[in-house]
Amino acid sequence: MLFRKWKMLLLLPAIFYGLISGECYRAEAQTRRDSSRFLSILLDREHSPAKAALIAGVVPSGGQIYNRKYWKVPIAITGYGGAAYYLAYNQRSYKGARRDYLAENDTIPETQNLSGRSSQELLSDINRFRRDRDLSILLLFAWHGLCVIDANVDAHLLQWDVSEDLSLKVRPMMRLNDHNRLHAGLSLSMTLK
């Protein structure tokens, strides 16, 4: 108890100096600017690709909902579910193989390997399930990154101009060449806005 009081008395001048010098105020102002930039992205009423990517990064398939592409939500959730199932299965199998391997190789007579597999087979299973578990973690992160990229690109494409003025027309054409001969052909005309 006495040590705590002395400790506070020793720290008090350092705290006081920090308050006086304004370092705390500058750090707080920087934090406030960073958080206000973050909040300005979230509170912006205009449809934004940055906002879509941010929401997709925080909430699984949230970017697809933000972009109003509801048909993509079941696909995204299925991808997350498949990767999570694969991860859980490999972790459970890894623990079981490891438990059986330890039971096979320890000197305690009460523990028994109930799988009926040899020590070498169990070691091979441990390595395989560990590798597959690690790959499923990478798969989960890759799927999440793909969903974030999809939300960002989709939000960019929502701003793309797809009006009725964009068209490609194919028409028959007749033309005279330099020798006053008539040639028939097709004319392609593209109208861009």
Q: Is 145 domain-assigned?
A: yes
Q: Can you give the residue range of the structural domain that contains 81? A: 48-158
Per-residue pLDDT tens for 111-137? 777 778 888 999 999 999 999 999 999
Judged against a pLDDT cut of 90, whether residue 110 lies above it is answered with: no
Do residues 60 and 76 touch, judged by C-beta distance below 8 A?
A: yes
Q: pTM for the complete prediction? A: 0.61
- For residue 174, report the phi and psi dihedrals to the nearest 5 degrees: -125, 135
Judged against a pLDDT cut of 70, whether residue 31 lies above it is answered with: no
Q: Is 188 domain-assigned?
A: no
- Under the banding of pLDDT at 50, 70 and 90, the label for residue 162 is low
Select the highest-mean-pLDDT range: 25-34, 46-55, 148-157, 160-169: 148-157
Cα(80)–Cα(72) distance, rounded to whole angstroms? 13
Q: How many domains does the chain have?
A: 1
Give the pair of three-digit tokens for residue 11. Answer: 């720290």
Do residues 114 and 15 touch, judged by C-beta distance below 8 A?
A: no
Q: Is 117 domain-assigned?
A: yes
Judged against a pLDDT cut of 90, whether residue 77 lies above it is answered with: yes
- Under the banding of pLDDT at 50, 70 and 90, the label for residue 39 is low
pLDDT-above-70 percentage for the chain: 73
pLDDT of residue 125: 93
Q: Is 115 domain-assigned?
A: yes
